[in-house]
């Protein structure tokens, strides 16, 4: 669908040929690269590190966004601000003072974003919507790739999409994102989708063919 942004979830990429993966995805027309940082505490998994981020940042001129699934993200921001990323997402419930952390991201000239877990209500983050540019809706519980979509999140997504113009935010989808979800939610105003194993990686099809199909849904 024209105008919709697609980001590659790089924790799902082939790390035996990471440089080639980045180049092929870039040539295929991916809009950005999504880097999941997990600490084994906020979520039950460890994923991606600073070396991965640095390598991907140097390998592409496309936008690179960092999704911090870590406790106290405000304590570690400098590690990511100084590596040339374009967007930083934090989970508000992972920080004592998320508004302070977001303000630091803004002052660094980086796009501020929040990620909302399936069990996090919109009402609990309303005030933060005034200071963020992007909201990443998690349609699965964070921590692992290949999970199943949680249908009850759909109502929350509809509610947030109805509010996006009032708060001047862009809404993005992360988790279990298949063609059916894009076809349903892109016309409702979803700005972009993070693509992982559901539709992009491990499909025995070229990334170019897959993205071409997504663009013409």
Please list the active-site residues. Answer: 36, 174
Torsion (CA) 38, 156, 193, 216 in degrees, nearest 10: 160
Cα dist. 206→5, 73, 212 in Å? Answer: 18, 36, 10
- Among residues 94, 96, 145, 84, the alpha carbon closest in space to that of 117 is found at 94
**Strand, coil or helix: what is 6?**
strand
Task: List, in order, residues 6 or more apart from 144 with CB less than 8 Å away.
Answer: 44, 45
Q: Answer positive or negative: Cα dihedral of 172, 173, 178, 179.
A: negative
Of 93, 43, 48, which is closest to residue 69 (Cα–Cα)? 43
Report the length, in residues, of the chain: 217
C-alpha closest to that of 52 among 92, 12, 88: 12
């Amino acid at each position: 669908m024209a105008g919709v942004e697609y980001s590659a979830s790089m924790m799902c990429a082939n790390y035996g040929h990471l440089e080639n993966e980045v180049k092929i995805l870039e040539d295929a027309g991916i809009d950005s690269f999504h880097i999941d940082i997990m600490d084994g505490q906020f979520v039950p998994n460890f994923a991606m590190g600073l070396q991965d981020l640095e390598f991907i940042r140097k390998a592409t001129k496309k936008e690179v966004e960092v999704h911090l699934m870590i406790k106290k993200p405000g304590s570690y921001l400098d590690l990511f601000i100084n590596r040339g990323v374009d967007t930083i997402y934090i989970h508000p419930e992972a920080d004592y003072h998320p508004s302070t952390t977001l303000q630091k991201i803004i002052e660094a000239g980086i796009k501020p974003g929040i990620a909302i877990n399936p069990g996090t209500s919109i009402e609990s983050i309303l005030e933060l919507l005034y200071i963020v540019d992007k909201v990443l809706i998690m349609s699965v519980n964070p921590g692992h790739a290949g999970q199943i979509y949680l249908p009850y999140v759909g109502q929350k997504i509809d509610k947030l999409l109805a509010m996006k113009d009032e708060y001047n935010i862009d809404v993005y989808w992360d988790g279990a994102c298949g063609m059916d979800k894009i076809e349903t939610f892109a016309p409702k105003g979803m700005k972009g989708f993070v693509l992982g194993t559901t539709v992009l990686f491990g499909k025995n099809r070229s990334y170019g063919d897959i993205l071409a199909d997504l663009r013409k849904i």
